[in-house]
Amino acid sequence: MTRGGGADGGPAERRPGAFARLPGGWWRTAGTALAGTAAVGLLMAGCDATGDGVRSEGSASNSPVPSQARSATPTPSPSSSVAYQKVDARALLRKDPKVGADVKKTLAKPCTADEYPIDVTYASLTGGKRADVIINVMTCADSVGIGSYVYRKGAKGYENVFSNEQPPVYAGVSKGELEITKQTYDTGDAVCCPTGEDVMTYRWAKHRFSEYSRYHTDYSKTVDGAETSATPSED
């Protein structure tokens, strides 16, 4: 399931099986487009022209998520030489006892044809010999993120080392670190129009991910081009 998203968060053209060169020598693949799905997924940070050593398949959001530069140093440092191995994300989730019943029910049948509401990103987050697998699962109807997971390659296969099943949720990669985005809504907000977002950043240390920073953003709201409310700007 694929929706376009440019480096600035806006829509971008996708072609089935298309490959695009990213800064730093990394490559990105785009799957088959799925039309008719509301574009309300969360921004997959780090998948578009960042040079973070990220390879992603599936859908990138074009929701209005503001970007914020951070100078944090990842621990461990991501390596551009980490091997990439494509996985069957749906099979991985369905056999994982840590994945909730609601998510598995969503994956029981495709949204249309053979397209499932799954985004997959491959990146070095844990310092392993192979790239970690970041998986996001969304609803078919409105593309709301219902589960985010990170799998690490070990001696016995892929191990679930992070999961968040509190929607709306979306996992991405920023500067070699795991970034979790959760859009926030006020009473009466439509699914397409969240009020703001919370962004949490996690670092891998002592065999687990630990949150070390977070920030909240309130979105501006406009009616016919006239601003009705906005986050106060810094002087």
Q: Which of 62, 77, 93, 97 is nearest to 192 (CA)?
A: 62
Beta bridge partners of 149: 135, 163
Structure tokens at 105: 């029910």
pLDDT in tens, 51-90: 456 666 664 443 433 333 333 333 444 445 677 889 999 9
Q: Which residues pair with 221 in a beta bridge?
A: 229
Residues in the chain where the model's pLDDT stays below 70: 1-81, 223-235
* In contact, 1 and 112? CB cutoff 8 Å: no
- What is the model's pLDDT at position 149? 98
Query: What's the whole-model pTM score?
Result: 0.67
Check residue 96 and give its pLDDT.
98
Instruction: Confirm if 123 and 54 have CB atoms less than 8 A apart.
Output: yes
pLDDT of residue 57: 67
Residue 211 CB neighbours (<10 A): 11
Query: What does the block give as tokens for 163?
Result: 């999961």
DSSP 17: T
Number of CB atoms found within 10 A of residue 21's CB: 10
Dist CA 146 CA 90 (whole Å): 14
CB contact at 8 A, 180 and 170: yes
Q: What is the pLDDT of residue 85?
A: 86
Tokens (6 digits) for 117 = 């509401």
**Residue tagged 């002087």 (tokens):** 235
